[in-house]
Amino acid sequence: MKGYLQNESDQAYFKLQRQIPPGAKVTLEAAYKSVGKSSGLAEGIEFVKWLRENVLTRGVWGIYEEDGKVFGEEVKLPKTKATPTVKAKPQKSAKTAPKTSSKKEKDARGAGRAVRRDINDVKGAEITPATIIDAPYDKARILIEKTKDRSVLKKSLALTKHFSGKEQHMRHIMKRLDQVY
């Protein structure tokens, strides 16, 4: 597999188990050695497609052959006059229901999208110290008020001491600990 990939963005990225600065080149063989063998893919165009889709997701990356052509780019033949093709209309059957688009379907698009639950839907048993600390203060305040378990409050108080910017959380948890029991 002869060729290289190049970071064409304006910032460095940590990919392929190394830091790749802007304009730097990494051979495809080195990329295959670092992530290709463990992926179980064979060398070639299949690996390059997988690399584009799964590893090189952030930034602008160019994958080139040794002579500078884009890797995997096929030679395009000039268009000739072709006979017009008639598309057949799909037949509607009684079994297929019309598709309805709802807000949930629109929100479900895109793998890797951060899914957040509404704080008001959280029940008392589902509140953990991590949910309290990770929430912004206005939502954490609601969670703290819902919490009746003293051990959860103590653990979240201990966690606030490890994170900067959680002083408001700490003060509110200390007040709630005085109220509980």
> Which DSSP string corresponds to the chain?
---EEEE-SSS-EEETTEEE-TT-EEEHHHHIIIIIHHHTPPTTHHHHHHIIIII--SS-EEEE-TTSPBTTPPPPPPP---PPPPPPPPPP-SSSPPP---HHHHHT-STTPPP---GGG--GGG--HHHHHHS-HHHHHHHHHH---HHHHHHHHHHHTTSTT-HHHHHHHHHHHHH--
pLDDT in tens, the chain (181 residues): 788 888 888 888 888 888 888 888 888 888 888 887 777 778 878 888 888 888 887 778 888 887 777 766 543 434 444 445 555 555 555 555 555 555 545 555 545 555 555 555 566 568 889 899 998 999 999 999 988 889 999 999 999 989 888 999 999 999 999 988 7
